[in-house]
Structure 1
Amino acid sequence: MPIWKTLLAATAVAVMAGCSTVRLVESDVRSYTEWPESRQPGSFTFERLPSQQANPDAQAKIEKLALPALQQAGFKLAGQGSGDVTIQVGLGQTYYDRAPWDDPYPWGYGSSLFYGRGMRSGVGIGLGWSMPSPYYVFDAAVLIRDAKTQKVLYETHAKHDGRWADDPIRAALFEAAMKDFPRPAISPRRVRIEIQPNADKAAAAASAEPAASAPAR
């Protein structure tokens, strides 16, 4: 069997094994708060930037991935225009053909894709001495505003890099970003989130569900 087929088979086995065990996702989180101490989370509606409105399907998926973390923080999704706050979520995902710790080679191929901030991608092809080793960098962001005054009450970002890209990992970034809400926290800090074995099925089911409400504009 060619070596590249052997490597692909080994990778598939590793992925299947990983789905049956608890996975640990580590993220670098930065949070900034103006949230009043006496204020409760309350209800919210999603807010979208013009670039996010241009890709509604991609943005709706990001909002579904972020929703469990927002609910865990105490927020409840409300109907259009009736929330106490508006919440804007974004998720950047960049793919590299080679991880920083791998041996370099002269040329390679790769692409980048950003969800929630407009879609863009590109690809180039070249030659190398070894098989590419996929490597991803994720950047999740949450911005919370008072619905009446439009004042920014909370801003948080979570960044993660690694070899795997799936919806449970993307959802874990939002969980990490909201982990310390609404308390002030050291920034940056390392946050660890455990992904349970059944998270893949739950994420797939959430992606299949229709949007709960139209986003605020």
Structure 2
Amino acid sequence: MLRRWISTLLLGLAAAALAGCSSTRLVDGQVESFSTLTALPAPATYRIERLPSQQTPAFEPIAALAERALARVGLQRDDAAPRLLVQIGVQASSVPRHGPSAPYAFYGPPWAFGGWYGRPPGVFGGWYGPPPWAFGGWGMGGPTPLYRRAVSLVLRDAQTQAVVYETSAVHENVWVSDPAVYGVLFDAALNGFPAPPHGRRQLRLPLPPPAP
């Protein structure tokens, strides 16, 4: 009887895992936006202003994700004649879940990603830890760590240097898939551009399936 119960449990877990893989994941993001814009700037062009720590090839995938999100809201990159200057921020962190009051720990520069779990900075793909259906999430081997991913965008008028748009998006969960989560968070941060609801709001956006 016990053996039959264990077999049934394992079959159920396998089915749940397969169902999770076949369904679309949704990424919950806490978004906070502030804008002085009332319409899309004309011309709708921008240039990315990189921080000194972002002058590396490892930052290119993050910049590409931000550019695609900016293009989806009608902005086009033009380094020679930008109307807006864009500054990108990215954060990644995790914390062991020993209890509900465990503090968060942040590492690296504001845009840092990856590189804290035996992986060199800038290397993407795979899981950081077990998937959400793993036994560890149920107290067998310890709780799964909580992962935090955050992005921010600051847009300035290229002539006056005044900030015209400021936004951020944060996602926290027991699973993470880089760099796809960053792409979703950039889309969430730009939701409603150029005149989003001011203040904090919760958004849920689909995570794109992995490329074949």
Q: In 2 relative to 1, CA 111–31 (structure 1 residues): closer, same or farther, beyond 3 Å?
A: closer
Query: Could you tell me which of 43, 47, 64 is aligned with 1:45?
Result: 47
Q: In 2 relative to 1, CA 165–182 (structure 1 residues): closer, same or farther, beyond 3 Å?
A: same
Q: Which residue matches 1:179?
A: 191
Stretches of structure 2 lacking an aligned partner (at least 5 in a row): 1-9, 118-138
Q: Distance in 2 between matches of 1:81 and 1:18?
A: 46
Task: Please tell me whether the aligned partners of residues 111 and 122 of structure 1 are also in contact (alpha carbons under 8 angstroms).
Answer: no
Q: Distance in 1 between matches of 2:114 and 2:40?
A: 42
Q: Which residue matches 1:208?
A: none
Task: Please tell me whether the aligned partners of residues 90 and 112 of structure 2 are also in contact (alpha carbons under 8 angstroms).
Answer: no
Stretches of structure 1 lacking an aligned partner (at least 5 in a row): 1-6, 105-109, 203-217
Q: Distance in 2 between matches of 1:119 and 1:26?
A: 19
1:67 aligns with 2:67: yes
Task: Please tell me whether the aligned partners of residues 89 and 116 of structure 1 are also in contact (alpha carbons under 8 angstroms).
Answer: no
Cα offset, 1:83, TM superposition? 1.8
Between Structure 1 and Structure 2, how many residues are aligned? Answer: 177
Task: Please tell me whether the aligned partners of residues 172 and 193 of structure 1 are also in contact (alpha carbons under 8 angstroms).
Answer: yes
The structure with the largest alpha-carbon Rg is 2
- The SS at the match of 1:31 is strand
- One-letter amino acid matched to 2:149: F
Identity of aligned residues (%): 31
Task: Please tell me whether the aligned partners of residues 47 and 86 of structure 1 are also in contact (alpha carbons under 8 angstroms).
Answer: yes
Q: In 2 relative to 1, CA 118–170 (structure 1 residues): closer, same or farther, beyond 3 Å?
A: closer
Task: Please tell me whether the aligned partners of residues 35 and 182 of structure 1 are also in contact (alpha carbons under 8 angstroms).
Answer: yes
Runs of 4+ in 1 over 6 A off after TM superposition: 119-123
Deviations 1:74-100 (A, max 9, x none): 01122x332221111111010123375
Q: Distance in 1 between matches of 2:112 and 2:96?
A: 22
Cα offset, 1:115, TM superposition? 6.2
Q: Distance in 2 between matches of 1:171 and 1:195?
A: 9
Deviations 1:180-208 (A, max 9, x none): 111141411011111243xx218xxxxxx
Q: In 2 relative to 1, CA 134–181 (structure 1 residues): closer, same or farther, beyond 3 Å?
A: same
Matches within 5 A, 1:18-33: 18-33=20-35
Matches within 5 A, 1:94-133: 94-98=93-97, 113-114=107-108, 117=111, 130-133=141-144
CA-based RMSD = 3.4
Matches within 5 A, 1:66-85: 66-78=66-78, 80-85=79-84
